[in-house]
Structure 1
């Protein structure tokens, strides 16, 4: 019986992994804000983004938990919990940005969040491009704000892996160091952009750190 167990488990494991991969592929097909790559660097891409709309909620929590707490009100909004009772298709990424001005430190790591990552974060769902601020359904939840993110030049560092604050800070430091070497000046807070559902295997995740830079 012991020798037959692996043979029984193996097909289930393969089927489970295939199901996860299929679910992940659906998310890779979701639409994202339009942009043009203006320059590629080993450490980052320079992208010129079109303007886009977001639904945003401010969360006061730990860095790694803010997205989880924000997910329910934002997901309810796009699922029809709005004055028009209208469902809105899912897009990517889910953005998370400090909602409080960060303390500046040395140029290689200019953003210092609170020691344990505790603070206020603006978490955003990107809205489909077919909407305007006038045509987006009005939220029922007063915590949700609809706003436009203006067109701008952004430096973007992509990485795979877990959603830990430690890995985020490691890549944030690498991004700001590379920007300093390239002579590019950040002009705003970095945004943490996540493109995959939480059940995506860590090595298949697309994570990005996005920061506006001067022209």
Structure 2
């Protein structure tokens, strides 16, 4: 067999593996529950959405953005997968969200994402659960009820890079400013995929809470 033919076979095998991996990724992501929001405005990668009330499990951590989300993930995963409590596991949902608790982020999000601060990282609970039906968490995890809210979002792919998230935050802020809309809180970063998903396949978002009549 010629060397050229061997290369063609190897190349074909690699392509087949990639196709299978992408197909598996599509099947998995389509079966993960996400919040059932209503789209109010759609403008390319920008969107204004109305979210229903949600229940979240949350953990607070300090440090940089990437350090905080990594450290918060383990206790949240322990809670939903019943690793350190009794009862059944809870289905994984998307996205995992993260936002700074420092209100300075409303006016200086780039500074906030590049320095150390306190962050709240949240797993959204499946919609079928009421607060009373969810297992009691340990001391490190708390359950909170998030009221219905209107949020602006920008959707993008790529790795979880601080510079990328900072740039997208500013793009969303600029888009809102052009519409005469002022955010009412700090940015929220939303991660829809696991860390092993290639960057070009990831769904990431930055969101801002906005007034309920904004459009």
Contact 1:24 1:196 in 2 (8 A): no
Query: 1:66-104 CA distances to partner (integer Å, 9 max, x unpaired)?
Result: 222211111111111354332000010000110222255
Question: Out of 13, 31, 34, which is 1:32 matched to?
Answer: 34
Question: Out of 127, 130, 149, which is 1:129 matched to?
Answer: 127
- For the pair 1:17 / 2:18, whether they are aligned, the reply is yes
TM-score when scaled to structure 2?
0.87
Contact 2:54 2:147 in 1 (8 A): yes
Contact 1:27 1:197 in 2 (8 A): no
Query: What is residue 168 of structure 1 aligned with on the other side?
Result: 165
Q: Tell me the SS of whatever aligns to 1:85.
A: coil
RMSD (Å), alpha carbons: 2.2
* Structure 1 residues without counterparts, runs of 5 or longer: none
Distance 2:99 2:30 in 1: 22
Distance 2:113 2:32 in 1: 35
Contact 1:51 1:149 in 2 (8 A): yes
With 30-39 and 65-74 compared, the bigger mean Cα shift is at 65-74
TM-score when scaled to structure 1?
0.87
* Structure 2 residues without counterparts, runs of 5 or longer: none
Contact 1:43 1:174 in 2 (8 A): no
Query: What is residue 3 of structure 2 aligned with on the other side?
Result: 3
Query: 1:117-154 CA distances to partner (integer Å, 9 max, x unpaired)?
Result: 322111111110111111110113x1111111110111
| Aligned residue runs from structure 1 range 95-114, under 5 A | 95-103=97-105, 105=107, 110-114=108-112
Distance 1:161 1:125 in 2: 21
- Are residues 71 and 199 of structure 1, via their aligned partners in 2, closer, same or farther at CA, if it must alter by over 3 Å? same
Contact 1:194 1:206 in 2 (8 A): yes
Question: Aligned-pair distance for 1:17?
Answer: 2.1
